[in-house]
Amino acid sequence: MTVYFEDIKIGDSAEYAKTITEADILMFAAVSGDDNPVHINQEYAETTPFGGRIAHGMLTASLISTVVGTRLPGNGTIYLSQSTRFKAPVKIGQTITARATVIELFPEKKRVKLSTECIVQGKVILEGESLVIAPSREA
């Protein structure tokens, strides 16, 4: 799906939801090289303040990329920046809903600023902003 810059309005939003699995965490560890035991070792993770294994923060944040790259603006979008503030961990079996909402448009360069967040069980567990170049009909 692609939403062209010319069709984007402030307040437009899109979402993507995913339930985090054991396989997601193990594959993310393999791809990223982040094998921190808080993610992959239950015995170790039980000794941490989390009381068990948690998903990688960047795995959670990557769901924002899914929204931006496949829904709003969608195919052809170029990421320029992402700020992220983690507010709570995600555990195996929890469903994350990633949401991006348009908060500013820059017509001269076809740029879009989005407020971004990830929500688990009604609680915001990640918040930030993205700046992207949206596909344009004029390109």
State the pTM of this model: 0.91
| Overall number of domains in the chain | 1
The answer to whether position 138 is within a domain reads no
Question: Mean pLDDT across the stretch 107-127?
Answer: 97
State how far the Cα of 114 lies from the Cα of 128, in Å rounded to an integer: 9
- Reading the block at residue 23, the tokens are 């396989």
pLDDT at 138: 76
The answer to whether position 75 is within a domain reads yes
The answer to whether position 105 is within a domain reads yes
For residue 82, the enclosing domain spans: 5-133
CATH code (residue 47)? 3.10.129.10
84 CB neighbour count, 10 Å cutoff? 17
Contact 57, 85 (CB under 8 A): no
The answer to whether position 139 is within a domain reads no
63 φ, ψ (degrees, to nearest 5): -70, -25
pLDDT in tens, 11-22: 999 999 999 999
> Does 139 score more than 80 pLDDT?
no
